[in-house]
C-alpha cells in the first residue's frame, strides 16, 4: 500500500504564498507586455480636428469668522472643445480652446439656489452675463509640443467663464515609461496677500504611472508645496491649487481619455485666531469620443 504524503500547515502556507507571488508577477508582466523598453507617450493631433470633453466641477467653501459660518456651493457642467488649427512636422500643435455650453448653479447659505443653462432663452442671472457672450468663441490659443508643454499662449477673451481651464492637457516625460515611472513638473503660483505684497510660491506636480494595459496608461498625480508657508492668509489662497488626481492616457491615440482631481483642505487663522476656511472640490473630465 502506497503511503500518503501529508503536508504540514506551514508548508501549505509557504506554497500558497509562492503561488500568490507568481500570480502577481505574471499579472505585472502581462500589463507591460510588448513594452520591455518602455512606452513612449506623445500627443497626436490632426489639423482641423476638434477634441471635446464633458467637464463637471463641484466645490463647497465653508468660511467661519467670529463664530459665524457661511457656506457657498457651486457646480459647473460644461462641454469644452480643442479646435486644432495647425500641426507642424515636429508635432507642435496650435489649438483654440472654447466652451460649447454650460450649466451653472450656486447656493449661498440657506438661500435659494441660482441655476442657469446656456441653452435657455431666459436671461442669465446677475454675474453670469459674460458667460453667454463667451460661448462658442475661442477663449485662448495655445501652442504645445508633442509632450504637452505649453510653448505659447494668448488669451482671446477678456473674462472667460469660471472653471473653464484648458482642456485635457497633461505634461508628458521625454523618456519612455513603464509601471512605476515618475516625473516632476515645477510650477510657480503668484499669491496676492490682502494688505501685503504679492508672493511667489513654488510647487511641484509629481506624476507616476500605476498601470499599463493595451497602451492605456493610468497615471496618478499629487501636488507638493516647496516654498515654506507660515502665513494662514497665503495658505487660504493656495487651497484651490493644491490637489491630487488620476489620469487615463491613450498612448495609441495620443490623448488624454479622462482626468479627475480633488481637494479637501482647511486653513485656520486666515482672518484672526477664531477664523477658518475649508475648501472641498472635485473636477472630472471625460473625452466625448474615444
For the segment 189-244, what is each residue's pLDDT rounded down to a tens digit? 999 887 777 899 999 999 999 999 999 999 999 999 999 999 999 999 999 889 99
- Return the minimum-mean-pLDDT range out of 17-21, 40-44, 98-102, 269-273: 17-21
pLDDT at 164 over 70: no
pLDDT for position 22: 40
Q: Determine the average pLDDT of the residues in 247-270.
A: 95
pLDDT for position 2: 43
Q: Which band of pLDDT confidence, cut at 50, 70 and 90, is reported for residue 40?
A: very high
Q: Which band of pLDDT confidence, cut at 50, 70 and 90, is reported for residue 167?
A: low
Share of the chain above pLDDT 90, in %: 63
Q: Which band of pLDDT confidence, cut at 50, 70 and 90, is reported for residue 290?
A: low
Share of the chain above pLDDT 70, in %: 83
pLDDT at 282 over 80: yes
pLDDT for position 84: 96
Domain boundaries, the chain: 36-287
Residue range 57-76, pLDDT digits in tens: 999 999 999 989 999 999 99
pLDDT for position 133: 83
Q: Determine the average pLDDT of the residues in 78-95.
A: 93
Q: Determine the average pLDDT of the residues in 146-163.
A: 78
Residue 139, number of CB atoms within 10 A of its CB: 21
pLDDT for position 123: 82
pLDDT for position 172: 96
Nearest to 240 by CA among 169, 191, 202: 191
pLDDT for position 168: 65
CA atoms within 13 A on the CB side of 263: 22
Q: Which CATH architecture has domain 36-287?
A: Roll (2.30)
Q: Which band of pLDDT confidence, cut at 50, 70 and 90, is reported for residue 36?
A: low
Q: Determine the average pLDDT of the residues in 173-199.
A: 91
The structure's pTM equals: 0.81
* Mean pLDDT, the chain, integer: 84
Q: Considering all CA atoms of the chain, what is the largest pairwise distance in Å, rounded to the nearest integer?
A: 94
Q: Determine the average pLDDT of the residues in 83-96.
A: 94
* CA gap 188, 223 in Å, rounded: 12
- Return the minimum-mean-pLDDT range out of 188-202, 243-257, 265-279: 188-202
Amino acid at each position: 500500500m502506497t503511503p500518503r504524503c501529508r503536508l504540514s500547515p506551514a508548508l501549505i502556507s509557504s506554497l500558497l504564498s509562492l503561488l500568490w507571488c507568481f500570480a502577481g508577477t505574471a499579472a505585472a508582466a502581462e500589463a507591460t507586455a510588448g513594452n520591455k523598453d518602455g512606452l513612449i507617450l506623445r500627443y497626436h493631433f490632426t489639423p482641423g480636428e476638434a477634441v471635446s470633453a464633458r467637464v463637471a466641477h463641484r466645490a463647497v467653501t465653508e468660511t467661519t469668522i467670529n463664530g459665524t459660518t457661511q457656506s457657498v456651493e457651486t457646480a459647473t457642467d460644461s462641454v469644452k472643445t480643442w479646435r486644432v488649427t495647425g500641426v507642424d512636422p515636429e508635432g507642435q500643435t496650435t489649438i483654440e480652446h472654447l466652451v460649447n455650453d454650460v450649466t451653472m448653479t450656486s447656493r449661498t447659505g440657506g438661500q435659494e439656489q441660482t441655476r442657469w443653462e446656456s441653452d435657455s432663452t431666459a436671461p442669465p442671472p446677475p454675474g453670469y452675463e459674460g458667460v453667454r457672450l463667451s460661448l462658442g468663441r475661442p477663449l485662448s490659443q495655445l501652442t504645445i509640443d508633442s509632450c504637452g508643454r505649453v510653448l505659447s499662449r494668448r488669451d482671446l477673451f477678456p473674462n472667460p467663464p469660471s472653471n473653464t481651464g484648458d482642456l485635457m492637457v497633461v505634461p508628458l516625460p521625454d523618456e519612455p515609461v513603464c509601471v512605476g515611472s515618475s516625473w516632476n513638473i515645477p510650477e510657480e503660483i503668484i499669491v496676492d496677500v490682502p494688505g501685503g505684497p504679492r508672493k511667489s510660491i513654488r510647487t511641484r506636480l509629481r506624476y507616476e504611472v500605476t498601470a499599463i494595459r493595451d497602451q492605456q496608461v493610468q497615471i496618478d498625480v499629487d501636488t507638493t508645496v516647496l516654498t515654506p508657508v507660515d502665513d494662514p492668509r497665503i495658505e487660504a489662497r493656495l487651497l484651490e491649487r493644491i490637489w491630487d488626481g488620476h489620469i487615463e492616457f491613450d498612448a495609441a491615440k495620443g490623448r488624454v481619455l479622462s482626468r479627475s482631481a480633488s481637494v479637501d483642505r482647511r486653513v485656520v487663522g486666515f482672518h484672526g485666531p477664531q477664523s477658518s476656511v475649508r475648501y472641498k472640490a472635485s473636477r472630472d473630465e471625460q473625452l466625448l469620443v474615444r
